[in-house]
Structure formats: C-alpha cells, structure tokens
Structure 1
Amino acid sequence: MRLLMILPVGLFLALSVFWLMQWMIAPQGNQPSRQDDIAMVDFIRSLQDSESDKKTRNPKEPPKPKTPPMLDTPKIQQASVKQMDLNMPDISSSLSSFKGEGMGNMLSGYGFGDSDVIPLVQVEPKYPSQALSRKIEGYVVVRLNVNKEGSVSDVEVVDSDPKGVFEREAIRAAWRYKFKPKLVDGKPVEQVATLPFEFNLEK
C-alpha cells in the first residue's frame, strides 16, 4: 500500500526535475544569439567606415574670396602752367659816372697815399612797385657825406626824374654804401661823393 503511494510521487518529482533542466539549457527566445550580436557590430562598423571614406574623398572646398569691386579713380587733370611775361627792372648805380666832389674824371682806381672815393660795398635800390606797375623809368642823383671810417653820414638828393618816384629807394640804398677811407698825409679824412642811380625796365 505504501509503495503504491510513493511511486506516483517519485515519478512526478523526476519529471519535474527533467523539465526544469530542459528549460534551463534551452536558449530563451527573447535574448539574441551571439552570432546576431557579431553581425550587428560588423554592420555598424561598415557604416562608419563608409561615412569616413566619403568625408576623406569629398573634402569641402574652401569658399573663394570675394573680389572687391573696382573703384573708379578720379582722373587728375594736369594744370597747364602759362609762362608769365614779366618785365624785370634793371636798376643800376653807374659807377663809371661816380665822381668825387670837384672831380671831372671817372674813377678807375686808387693809388698809394692820397686816394679818391672808392666804394667797397654797393647796394642796388629796390624798384618801386608803383613805378613798376606803371612801367615808369627814371634816375636819381644823390650827394653823400662820407666820414673818416668810410660810412655814409648824410644823403641829399641833387637831381631826379620824374620827381617823387624813385627818391626814397635811392636814399635807402645810398645809406648802406661803404667806402674806402680817404687819406690825406696818411690820415683818414671826411669826403663827399655824388652817386647816380638809374631805374630802367628791360626791353
């Protein structure tokens, strides 16, 4: 009686253990196989390699620099310089007619001992602008008092033509003259000289 009761229970336990072992050994349907995992990894690598090949084979060209627009440079007109026709004044103090007081001969030099009036510094007078614009010519004769050192101490207008035009500039120039001192018995003395200034325009 006991054997009949134990036999079905042992058979049930044996079948249960066998079924449990089969369930543990058999692969589950929800878990992917190892071969499927390897295939998936290879596929992803091939996609990455193909994308990298495309990037290396087809590099993007750098953008071309934009050329700046051409600027219109203004044309420079050359100014034509007209030649100006100017009448330059010819101002001269005629040394050939430069005479000492009471002397009729022209001064050509000096000797030793007593000497004649000899200019060391000569100054040309300025042509008056009013006379230059009106193209007026003329002359002025001045008398100079020369001291012992050869400097001018006094200036006096003796003659002029036209009157009141060239006198001022002639006097200014005469004051700046310097002369060689006149010697009498080896000593310097005062002297008097006459100096003509001519104001002429070049033709």
Structure 2
Amino acid sequence: MSELINKIKTQIEGLLNLKVGGLTIKDSLSQIDSRASAIPIAAVITVFLFLVMQALVTSNEFDLGEEGASINISFLRQLQDTETQTAKKKPNRPEQEQEPDPPEMDIPETPRPEMNSESVSTPDFGGPQFGAFSASTDADVLPIVKVPPQYPRRATQRGIEGWVLVEFTITETGAVVNPMVIDADPPGIFNRSALRTIVKWKYKPRIVGGKAVPRSGVQHLITYELEDAR
C-alpha cells in the first residue's frame, strides 16, 4: 500500500510539473488571481488527475489483488495459529486433593462381664405319677417310648388323685392299639387322659420263632398324684 501511495504521489508531482504555455501547472495555479479564470484550469486538472488515477489503478489491479490475497491468507494463518496455541495452552485442571484418611482412634477394650452359668432349678408343680401292672408274666413287656400323661385341669383344681388300669394290644411293630379302661379310681376322672397317653407309647415287640408277633391282654396301671399332697 505504501508503494502505491508513493507512485500516486510521484505521478501528481509529475503532473504539476508539466509545462502548459511555457509555465508548469503548479506555477499557473500560483498566478491565478480570479476565481472565474481558475475554473477551466481546475476542470482540466481534475480530468487529467482522474485519467491518471484510473491508469494507475488499472495497472496495479493485479498487484493489489495478490497483495490483498496475501494479506487475507496471512491473516487467516495467523488466526489458525492463534487458535492452535489457544487450544494447546488450555490450563490443566487442578488435581482434586485427596482427603486425608481420618486418624485412627484407639478404642479401649472394655472387659466383658463374666457370666457364671448356674443351673436354675424349676419348682415341681406336681403331676401324675404312674406305676405299672401287667397280667402277663413275661418280663420283656417293657415300654421303649413312654410319654407322661396330662393331668386333667378339673382334677388339679379340686386336688383329686387317682389311678387308671388300662388294657391294650401290642402289634408286631410295638405300637399300642385297642386300649380300654379296666378299672379306675375315682371313675371317669382320669380315663380320657390315660387312653390318650397309652396310645403314644411304644413297646418292644414279642419275638416267636424269629418273627415279631402281636401281644394282646397287656395291662398297665397309670397313677395320678399331686406333688403337694405328699
């Protein structure tokens, strides 16, 4: 751009130094006294300057295009370089500081109380005491499983004691079937309890010739006594 301005400046100076009628245009302008006589000369100078400017622009159009393109290209490259440097100079994220581990606290060990396990005796509220009576003379008629009978509530409340003689059959497997009350004292108080109890018992079956056989007519005496009555 500075070269173009210098060229225009040189052309204008050369134009002003042109001689018209033995005088240069610059000298002619300095000798003009009246405004009316200066108008034609000014018009000639204007037209001449316009033609000179047009010639200069036409002759330097290609140079201006290249210079403008080079300016644009260099500006674009400068922008790209700036963006690249900006991208490269991104600040590093500060590393998150790790929280320090909480200090370990010494927890004093509290002595555990020693538990002295002692057996606690439960009071005996009383219950049926049962003996045994069998009409059979075989000594092997002994119960393997013996469930204690339940003392009737009515007899407990009234303080009644007694006994029941039950007769039943022992099967090949040792189970009790067909129980019946043979005798009882007092009658009807402990009968149901005795029958419910005896069917839960289990006996050793009778063996004859290497085989288990049923045994009938077995009798057992169940006695009901209260602990407080002793």
TM-score, L = length of structure 2: 0.43
Between the two structures, name the one with larger relative contact order (CA 8 Å, sep ≥ 6). 1
Larger proportion of strand: 1
Larger proportion of helix: 2
Bigger Rg over Cα: 2
